Structure 1
Amino acid sequence: MDNMSVLTWIILSSVLGALLSIGLAALLTLNARSNTWISILVSYAIGALLGAAFLNALPEALELSAEPRQLTLIMLCGILVFFILEKLLIWRHCHLGECEVHEPAAEITTSVVVNHDHGRSGMMIVLGDTFHNFVDGILIAAAFMADIQLGIITAIAITAHEIPQEAGDFIILLNSGFSRARALWFNLLSGVATVLGGVLAYFMLNQLDHLIAPILALAAASMTYVAMADLIPSLHKRPEIGATIQQVILIVLGIGTVWLVGAYFGHNH
C-alpha cells in the first residue's frame, strides 16, 4: 500500500476514534445509567487492549526485529516508565486525602466533587489528556506503518479504552466548574493531539523506520499497563459472582473483537 494511503488511514482513524470516544463519553455522562454503561465499557476495553497488545502489537514487533530479547526488554522498561509517569501524575493531583483525578471512570460517575477549584484540576486533566492523546497518535501511526490490519486493531483498542476515560475526564471538568459546552470543547481540542501525534510520527518514522518495532513494543507496554493497572482494579469493586461473570464475558468479547478483526483483515498482511 502506498504511503499516502497509510497517511490517510492514520488521519481517518485518529479523527474518527477521537470523535467517537469523546461523543460517546459526553452522551454517557448525561445518561442516568452512565455508571452501568461505563462499567461495561471498562470490561470490554480491558479485553480489547490486552488482545491488541498480545495478539497483534507484540507479535508484529517481534516479526520486524531480529532482536526479540531487546524488544521484550523495551516492553518491560515501558511498563516501568508508565508506572513512574502515573505516580508523578498522582503526586501532582492528589492532595489532602482526595484523589478525584485518578479515580477510575466507573467510580467517578458515582461521586460528585462539591467544591469547585476554579478549573485548576480541570485544566490539568485537559493537559494530561492532550499529552496522552498525542502519544496514542504516535502508537496508531507506528501500527499502521507496520501493517494496515495492526493499525485498525490498535485504533479500535485505543478508542475502546478512551471512551470510559473521556467520560471520567468529562465529569471531572464539570465538577471543576466547566459548563457542558466548555467541557466538550476542551475535550475535542485535546482530541486533536491524536491527529497531530499520528501525522508527526508518520513523517518521522518514514525516515526512521527502524524505530517502528520498538514503538510497537512500547504500544504493547502501554496497552498492557492501562488494562492491568488502571482498568482491572476498578472491576474488583464489584466482587459479586454475577458482576464477575459479566466482566469475564465482556473481557473475552474485547479479545474476540481483536481476534476477529485480525482474522478478517489477515489477508492484507
Structure 2
Amino acid sequence: MLATLVSGVVSALVAGWLAYRYFARFLHQLVSFSVGVLLSVALLHTLPEAFESGVSPSVLFSLLLAGLLAFFMLEKLALLRHNHHHEHDGHGHPAGHDAHEAGRGGLAVLVGDGLHNFCDGMLIAASFLVDHRLGMMTALSIAVHEVPQELGDFVVLVNAGFTRRRALTFNVMASMMAMLGGVVGYFVLAQLQAWLPYVLVVAASSFIYIALADLVPQMHRRSSLAESLPQFALVAAGVFVIYAVTLLVHEH
C-alpha cells in the first residue's frame, strides 16, 4: 500500500507542486512538453509492455484502433452535451469560451491515466509477490516515471478548462487507482493478469488521442518559425525524459 501510494498519489502531488510553483506561467509552452510526454508514455512504455505479453499483435492493434475511436466518440458526446447546455443561454461568452469550458481531452486523459495507474499498481503487487526488493525498485521506478507524466496530465486538464485546484484533485483521484490496482493485484493477480495487456492498450489509446487530436492542433496555431522551434524542443524534451526513465525501468 505504501509503495502504490508513493508511486501514484505522491507523484501526482509532486507534479502538481511543480506546476504551481514553477510552470503556471508557461501553460502554452508546456502543452508542447505534454505532447512529447504522452506520446512517449504510450509508444515507448505502455504499448511495448502490452506487446511483450505474447497477446496477438493484430488483437492489440485492433483494440488500439477501437480505443482511439471510442475516445473520439466520448469527446464528441461531451462537446454535444456542453453545446446544448450553453446554446441560447442568454450569456455573452467571448469567442472560444464554450470550446474552452467544455473540457476537451480532460475526461479522456483521466480515464487513460486511471487505467494506467491501476496497471502500475498491479505490476507493483506482482513485483512484491516475487521479491520485496524488486517490489521497492519497481515502485521507485514507476514513481520517477509518473512525475513527468502527471505533470503532462495536469497541463492537459488546465488547458482543457479545469481550474488548477480541480486539475490537481482529479489527478490525485486518478492516481489513487494505483492503490486499488495494488490491492486487487495482490489478492487476485492470477485471475486478472491476463487482462493487463488489454487495459494497457486502452490507456495508451487515450494518451495518443489526446496528444494528436487535442494538443497538436493547438500547437499548429502558432505557426511562425520563432514559435515552432521552441515547440519542437519541448516535444523533444518530453520524449527524452520518458525515454530516459523507461531505460532506467528496464535496467532494473
Same fold by TM-score, threshold 0.5 exceeded? yes
SS of 1:265's partner is helix
- Number of residue equivalences: 225
What is the percentage of aligned positions where both structures have the same residue?
A: 25
Q: Say which is worse superposed, 242-251 or 154-163, in terms of deviation.
A: 154-163
Deviation for aligned residue 1:26 = 4.3
Q: Are positions 1:194 and 2:183 aligned together?
A: no
Query: 1:29-73 CA deviation, whole Å, 9 max, x = no partner?
Result: 9x6xx2xx1122111111111111111111110001331211111
Q: Are positions 1:163 and 2:146 aligned together?
A: no
Aligned to 1:79: 68
- Which has more helix, going by share of residues? 2
**1:80-229 matched pairs, under 5 angstroms:** 80-94=69-83, 95-96=86-87, 100=97, 102-103=99-100, 133=110, 135-143=112-120, 145-146=122-123, 148=138, 151-152=142-143, 155-168=146-159, 173=163, 184=165, 186-206=166-186, 207=188, 208-229=192-213
Q: Give the RMSD, CA atoms, in angstroms.
A: 3.1
Query: 1:213-263 CA deviation, whole Å, 9 max, x = no partner?
Result: 111111211111111011111101100012111111111111111111122
1:256 and 1:129 map into 2 onto residues whose CA distance is 24
1:58 and 1:150 map into 2 onto residues whose CA distance is 17
Unaligned ranges ≥5, structure 1: 1-6, 104-120, 174-182
Unaligned ranges ≥5, structure 2: 88-92, 125-137
Deviation for aligned residue 1:134 = 6.1
Aligned to 2:5: 11
1:46 to 24, 35, 39: 35
Q: Are positions 1:230 and 2:224 aligned together?
A: no
1:235 and 1:131 map into 2 onto residues whose CA distance is 19
1:244 to 220, 223, 228: 228
1:20 to 14, 37, 51: 14
Q: Say which is worse superposed, 131-140 or 80-89, in terms of deviation.
A: 131-140
What is the letter of the counterpart of residue 117 of structure 2? I
Aligned to 2:50: 61
Aligned to 2:128: none
2:108 and 2:235 map into 1 onto residues whose CA distance is 27
- CA contact under 8 A between 2:12 and 2:146: conserved in structure 1? no
Deviation for aligned residue 1:84 = 0.7
Specify whether residues 47 and 237 from structure 1 end up closer, same or farther in structure 2 by C-alpha distance, changes over 3 A only: same
Specify whether residues 54 and 192 from structure 1 end up closer, same or farther in structure 2 by C-alpha distance, changes over 3 A only: closer
TM (normalized to structure 1)? 0.70
What is the letter of the counterpart of residue 152 of structure 2? H
Deviation for aligned residue 1:101 = 5.5
TM (normalized to structure 2)? 0.75
Specify whether residues 90 and 20 from structure 1 end up closer, same or farther in structure 2 by C-alpha distance, changes over 3 A only: farther
